[in-house]
Structure 1
Amino acid sequence: MFERFTAEARRTVIGAQIEARRLRHQRIGTEHLLLALLTQDTPTTVVLSRHGLTHDMVSEAVEGHHGNDDLDADALTSLGIDLDAVRERVEATFGPGALDGGPARRDESPSHIPFSSRAKKVLKLSLREAIALKQKTINDGHIALGLLREGEGLAMKVMADRGVDTAELRRDLTTAQGS
């Protein structure tokens, strides 16, 4: 399937991993795909921004959903727990960066972040979107349409919370695909 991805679609997949790493998440979810779509300069990004979706706004919403580490740190400090001391002790015992991610599986490098099942489904649905539009390649617009078709996940929650009319967004994205 990935051989059918255009450069923009490939940048979206790579960008989703970059976004997950930036946010220190252990899985690539629908929210990371949406964030990656919003980093590009394509017709898809233009459509998304017309519907009020910007990288900064979505990033802030995603961070809010996953919690604020600074607030957690403040709460622990108020209980007398020194997080720097805890980190130093853990790293002395288990090695540098031991708290920076879960254990890597034997078949996965420590820098690899796996896709959630929902994000994988979005990528499969992007192929269906391309086929439905009678297009031979999968571009970033098809990934955006796959997000909408999948209909769940944090990306959809962010859109719903921001009052995005997803039916109208779907029509605009489809029009931008040339159909």
Structure 2
Amino acid sequence: MFERFTEEARRVVRRAEGVADELRSAEIGPGHLLVALVETSPAVRTALVASGADPRAVIATGREVLRAGGLDSEALASLGVDLEQVRQQADAVFGDGALDRVGRGGTGRSRFDRNAKKTLELALRETIRLQDRTIESRHLCLAVLREGGEGRVVLERSSVDSATLRSALETPQPPTSA
């Protein structure tokens, strides 16, 4: 399937791995793909602006959600648990990134979690639905919307109008000249 990815879409996937590494995530999920999309793809940033969103806010929200490791820091705070303080104490006792190292290891397995793999598959489906020949970054973003997991949560927390974003992504943009 990766042979159908444009060079930009491949850069997005590689960048998602970098985002996961920066956030010390054992696996790459749809949220990592979304942050990488916004950081890497001018077309996705343009579509976000068209939907009334600030791409920088989407990146910041995405990193915050991913840093929490899927835990709802607000819900934990309502119980009197400060997630960042727990991380700091674990780092002090067990070394930097102690909570994030769990499950990491050289198993040779793909680092993409089940939902990220589903997102990549949905990108192919979006490409076919739109009758395109190659998988572009816009197809990856449409797939993040369709997958409905952490990437969609990030978009919702960033006040992105999903219908407007979808519409902007479904309309191919002419190539930009450098």
Matched, 1:122 2:136: no
Deviation sequence 1:66-91 (CA, Å, 0-9, x none): 157643256x4xxxxx853x236xx9
Map 1:1-179 → 2, pairs under 5 A: 1-51=1-51, 52-54=53-55, 56-65=56-65, 66=68, 67=73, 70-72=84-86, 76=89, 83-84=91-92, 86-87=93-94, 101=101, 102-108=103-109, 114-150=111-147, 152-176=148-172
Query: C-alpha separation between the residues in 2 aligned to 1:131 and 1:83?
Result: 46
Give the secondary-structure state (helix, strand or coil) at the position aligned to 2:24. coil
Q: CA deviation at 1:38?
A: 1.0
Q: Secondary structure at the match of 2:39?
A: coil
Query: What is the root-mean-square deviation in Å for CA atoms of aligned residues?
Result: 2.7
CA gap 1:73/1:40 in 2 versus in 1, 3 angstroms = closer
Runs of at least 5 residues in structure 2 that lack an aligned partner in the other structure: 74-81
Q: Say if 1:49 and 1:22 are closer, same or farther in 2 by CA, change over 3 A.
A: farther
Shift of the 41–163 alpha-carbon distance from structure 1 to 2, 3 Å rule, reads closer
Q: Pick closer, same or farther for the CA change 1:128–1:53 going to 2, 3 Å.
A: farther
Question: 1 CA distance for matches of 2:87 and 2:98?
Answer: 18
**Normalising by the residue count of structure 1, what TM-score does the alignment of the two structures yield?**
0.75
Deviation for aligned residue 1:167? 1.4
Gaps of 5+ in 1: 77-81, 92-96
1:124 Cα deviation (Å)? 0.5
Q: Is the radius of gyration larger for structure 1 or structure 2? A: 1
TM-superposed CA distance for 1:125, in Å, is 0.7
CA distance in structure 2 between the aligned counterparts of 1:29 and 1:158, rounded to whole angstroms? 12
Deviation for aligned residue 1:63: 4.3
Give the letter for the 1:131 counterpart: I
